Amino acid sequence: MDQRGISAFIVAGGKGRRFGGDKALFRYRDRALIEHVIDAVRPAIANIAIVADDAARFDYLGLPCYPDAIPGAGAFGGVYTALLRSETGRAFVTACDMPWLNTDLIRFIASISEGHDVTIPAVRGEWEPLHAVYAGTCVEHMRKSLESGRRRIISFFDSVSVRTVTEEEIRRFGDPDLIFRNINYLEDAGI
């Protein structure tokens, strides 16, 4: 697949309240969580950036880091910022705390995303908004949702074309319960 039309953004702006600290830089299996995510994304999408307010903590990664365009807007604000900063027509957006991402699934989602505003996996009827491709055409719809106080990423989906990546499609690449598992608490990391 031609990677020039898509970029990747890792949302790492969470406060880590439930976790008790900075999840992105938490050492999991001898490496920071965000490094596991980068390693899974990079073979599929070469152009990677981070969305987080404290950019200095990520300097060692050598990736661009952008602050939230709308402070306090949570994960939705992170996705919105990614699209505002994207220099490509589409952006794969994922979270910094998902160390079991599957490179081939990311490649697949990117490959089927052209022509859709949102290309997003769904497991048991629930979307995975921080493992999805968003087209630049979503920006205005997202802005309207954010301005009206809606903070759920999926709040604008009824205004755009959505390509759902089915559970059957996901299972060709691995167990969805593992691929989309994120680390919210220390015990989630097996600590």
| CATH code of the domain containing 8 | 3.90.550.10
Based on the number of CB atoms within 10 Å of its own CB, is 128 exposed (0-12), middle (13-18) or buried (19 or more)?
A: buried
pLDDT value of position 55: 85
- Dihedral (CA of 108, 158, 149, 81) sign: positive
Q: Specify the range with the lowest mean pLDDT, choosing from 4-18, 63-77, 100-114, 138-152.
A: 4-18
- Per the domain annotation, does 139 fall within a domain? yes
Within-domain flag for 52: yes
The answer to whether the predicted template modeling score (pTM) of the entire model surpasses 0.95 is no
Write down the pLDDT at residue 2.
Answer: 45
Asked if the structure places residue 98 within a domain, the reply is yes
Decide if 30 is inside a domain.
Answer: yes
pLDDT at 18 (0 to 100): 53
Structure tokens at 175: 């167990």
In a domain, 34, yes or no: yes
Q: Which amino acid is at 94?
A: T
Cβ-contact 119, 182 below 8 angstroms: no
Nearest in space to 94 (alpha carbons), one of 117, 74, 114, 78: 78
d(Cα 102, Cα 177) in Å, to the nearest integer? 12
pLDDT band at 15 (very low <50, low <70, confident <90, very high): low
Could you give the number of structural domains in the chain? Answer: 1
Is 190 a member of any domain?
A: no
Here the tokens at position 109 are 């989602």
Does residue 109 sit within a domain? yes
pLDDT higher than 90, residue 174: yes
Task: Give the model confidence (pLDDT) of 21-61 as tens digits.
Answer: 677 888 888 899 999 999 999 999 999 999 998 888 999 99
- For residue 71, the model assigns a pLDDT of 87
Name the residue range of residue 154's domain. 3-185
Q: Is residue 24 part of a domain?
A: yes
